[in-house]
Amino acid sequence: MKEIMLGNEGVARGVYEAGVRVASAYPGTPSTEITETIAKYDEIYSEWAPNEKVAMEVAIGAAIAGARSFTAMKHVGLNVSADPLFTASYTGINGGMVVAVADDPGMHSSQNEQDSRHYARAAKVPMLEPSDSQEAKDFTVLAYELSEKFDVPVMIRLHTRVSHSRSLVEICDRKEAPLKEYTKDCGKYVMMPGMARMRHVVVEERQKALQEYAESSELNVVEMNDTKIGIICSGICYQYAKEALPNASFLKLGMIYPLPPKKIAEFAKSVNELYIIEELDPFIETFVQSLGIKAIGKERFSVLGEYSAEKIAEAILGKKTETADISLKEELPGRPPVMCPGCPHRGLFYVLKKLRLTVSGDIGCYTLGALPPLDSMDACVCMGASIGMALGMEKARGKDFARKLVAVIGDSTFIHSGITGLIDVVYNKGTSTVIILDNSITGMTGHQHNPSTGFTIKNEPTKQVDLVQLCKAIGVDRVKVVDPFDIAEMEKTIKEELAAEEPSVIISQRPCALLKSVRYTGKVVVDQDVCTGCKMCMRIGCPAIGCKDGKITIDHTQCNGCGLCLKVCKFNAMKKVGE
């Protein structure tokens, strides 16, 4: 039976069919739906871990204990979990283990465009790259066989256009993979220098065996057509290139690490002109050139952003597609993402802007507070960085600077990697004010539970991390909980905590407006006789509030009646109706 599936659902189906028993992950676009789909299968234990490093460790533990295991993450999540991965390459596994990592060329939802293929080489683990949903499933199943055959975690590299594209997949049954026997083996699993030295030898031997495998693997397919143009590519680029140049010859690499030198040399010899088509870094190209083979790659193709069939046709054939002639009179305004109507973060950022603070930011829906009109973020680097960076700013510029400086961080992000930053603040006598934006959910990635929400991935109730107690336990004496829609109270609290020359935490607490449990009722209307058109209400940056001919208008298809605007209108021109 065939079903239409996201690439991510294809990976999840592969995990299911391969008999996997344990899956742990932390969400991150474009990888999130893999684990959300796995959670629907009762045969697999699944969980959201606090971060990618823990998820990787859970998967390693489960594999050593003899189960087939799985973890998934977005590309930057691999940075977080790289430490355990690099040494799991030395210990090897027992039950098969697969790590899915989703890259995001074009940065649809990411803070950088890093190329995770480098990790496969650096950690010396094999990496497979599917080009559609069917391959996402098939490669995942095969990855478990390779993992057990070569005693190594295997990586699956995904891509936004594979993860978030739907195509047809042939469904098969689950094949149970019984637990492998577990025996204590210090030399293999305890990585101290003496043992690790022995294991490094094993890793290098395995590298040779893997390269041998790559030469003959069914994953690397040669498609001979017209020999004028030969193309080496993998993943989504294969689909683009195939569409642009259907008559060319292809070496499609399903396994991108290690690469097969003989197969590449043979293919190169059989074509006149050799192209290497890969997004981001010249990973395949560098390898091919190291073999002394001439090929055209980055001299013709960008290291920036995404490719498409059209870009490839243009770069190789010089062909431009004709488009419909639409001449527009004016330049079009962009449409950046905005906080949703009713978003609890809006109230807090309104106050931050009003107080003109320096804001050390973090990653989540609240990063949208960096954009106009809220305009209140000075820096944002990676998950969890806000608190450490605020401390760094304070240590660089002194305590006076800290009196106008806050760090903002979401609940999920705080648990992910903000706690250690806060410990640093306390331990090293910082005086920063940290604001935890607790909206009761991991919002940005589409509503996943986390340790502070009190529910598991399967919506079962569990212990909930008490953020107040946690902050107190690590030595923050000043911890306050404030509703961000109580603007006056929030402003007062922030001023007080900034003035205090010691670490303080403000928990800005109000649930995400998109949660089912949140029910705002009614709509806001503007009394046009009272409205002076002062536009104060527009400073909160609500997409439902507009202005026509000097008068404020409310878009009722968007307004959810949260009522925040009522609190900023000085003339009481806004009213709620229909409650």
Partner 1 sequence: MAVTSIMIVGVGGQGTLLASKILGSVAVTQGYDVKMSEVHGMAQRGGSVVTYVRYGDKVHSPIISPGEADIVLAFEELEAMRWASFCKKGGTLIVNTQRIDPMPVVTGAKKYPSETVEQLSKSEDIRLIPVDALSLAKEAGTVKAVNVVLIGVLAKSSGIDKDVWIQAVKDNVPERFRDMNIKAFELGYNA
Ligand X SMILES: Cc1ncc(C[n+]2csc(CCOP(=O)(O)OP(=O)(O)O)c2C)c(N)n1
Question: Residues interacting with ligand X, by CB under 6 A?
Answer: 26-28, 52, 74, 76-77, 80, 363-366, 383, 410-413, 437, 439, 441-445
β-strands 154-159, 248-253 pairing: unpaired
Q: How far is the CB of 283 from ligand X (least distance, A)?
A: 22
Q: How far is the CB of 567 from ligand X (least distance, A)?
A: 21
DSSP state of 179: P
Query: Phi and psi (nearest 5°) for 551?
Result: -115, 145
User: Could you say which of partner 1, ligand X, none residue 247 binds, taking C-beta under 5 to 8 angstroms by partner kind?
Assistant: none
Which residues here bind partner 1, judged by CB under 8 A? 4, 6, 29-30, 32-33, 108-109, 132, 161, 164-168, 236, 239-240, 242-243, 308-311, 321-330, 332-340, 365, 368, 371-373, 444-446, 538, 541, 543, 545-547, 555, 557-558
DSSP state of 570: T
Radius of gyration for the chain, computed over Cα atoms and rounded to the nearest angstrom: 27
Separation CA 39–CA 34 (nearest Å): 9
* 83/477 with CB nearer ligand X: 83
Q: How far is the CB of 304 from partner 1 (least distance, A)?
A: 17
User: Could you say which of ligand X, partner 1, none residue 546 binds, taking C-beta under 5 to 8 angstroms by partner kind?
Assistant: partner 1
User: Could you say which of ligand X, partner 1, none residue 323 binds, taking C-beta under 5 to 8 angstroms by partner kind?
Assistant: partner 1
User: Could you say which of ligand X, partner 1, none residue 76 binds, taking C-beta under 5 to 8 angstroms by partner kind?
Assistant: ligand X
Minimal CB distance residue for ligand X: 410
* 428/462 with CB nearer ligand X: 462
User: Could you say which of partner 1, ligand X, none residue 412 binds, taking C-beta under 5 to 8 angstroms by partner kind?
Assistant: ligand X
Tokens describing residue 306: 């995404």
Separation CA 418–CA 387 (nearest Å): 7
Element (H, E) at 249: strand 248-253
Q: How far is the CB of 29 from ligand X (least distance, A)?
A: 6
User: Could you say which of partner 1, ligand X, none residue 517 binds, taking C-beta under 5 to 8 angstroms by partner kind?
Assistant: none
Q: How far is the CB of 78 from ligand X (least distance, A)?
A: 8
User: Could you say which of partner 1, ligand X, none residue 161 binds, taking C-beta under 5 to 8 angstroms by partner kind?
Assistant: partner 1
Beta bridge partners of 100: 72, 156
Q: How far is the CB of 443 from ligand X (least distance, A)?
A: 3
Q: How far is the CB of 164 from partner 1 (least distance, A)?
A: 5
* 9/148 with CB nearer partner 1: 9
Q: How far is the CB of 577 from ligand X (least distance, A)?
A: 30
User: Could you say which of ligand X, partner 1, none residue 364 binds, taking C-beta under 5 to 8 angstroms by partner kind?
Assistant: ligand X
User: Could you say which of ligand X, partner 1, none residue 330 binds, taking C-beta under 5 to 8 angstroms by partner kind?
Assistant: partner 1
* 148/411 with CB nearer ligand X: 411
The crossing angle, in degrees rounded to 10, of helices 75-91 and 193-216 is: 110
b/e per residue 62-100 (b: at least 16 CB within 10 A): bbbebbbbbbbbbbbbbbbbbebbeebbbbbbbbbbbbb
Q: Is the peptide bond prior to 261 cis by the omega test (within 30 degrees of 0)?
A: no
Q: How far is the CB of 12 from partner 1 (least distance, A)?
A: 15
Query: Phi and psi (nearest 5°) for 3?
Result: -130, 150
Q: Tell me how far CA of residue 441 lies from CA of 92, 109, 407, 484, in angstroms.
A: 35, 18, 19, 16
* 27/254 with CB nearer ligand X: 27
* 48/150 with CB nearer partner 1: 48
Nearest 5°: CA angle at 347, between 346 and 351? 110
Q: How far is the CB of 559 from ligand X (least distance, A)?
A: 21
User: Could you say which of ligand X, partner 1, none residue 363 binds, taking C-beta under 5 to 8 angstroms by partner kind?
Assistant: ligand X
Closest to 124 in 3D by CA, of 263, 216, 215, 258: 258
Whether the CB-CB separation of 251 and 220 falls below 8 Å is answered with yes
Separation CA 81–CA 153 (nearest Å): 13
User: Could you say which of partner 1, ligand X, none residue 333 binds, taking C-beta under 5 to 8 angstroms by partner kind?
Assistant: partner 1
Q: How far is the CB of 362 from ligand X (least distance, A)?
A: 7
* 172/371 with CB nearer partner 1: 371
CB neighbour class for 260 (10 Å; exposed up to 12, middle 13-18, buried from 19): buried
* 383/425 with CB nearer ligand X: 383
Query: Phi and psi (nearest 5°) for 39?
Result: -60, -20
* 27/66 with CB nearer ligand X: 27
* 44/444 with CB nearer ligand X: 444
* 260/364 with CB nearer ligand X: 364
Closest to 143 in 3D by CA, of 17, 269, 304: 17
Q: Which amino acid is at 349?
A: F
Separation CA 110–CA 37 (nearest Å): 22
Three-state DSSP at 289 gives helix
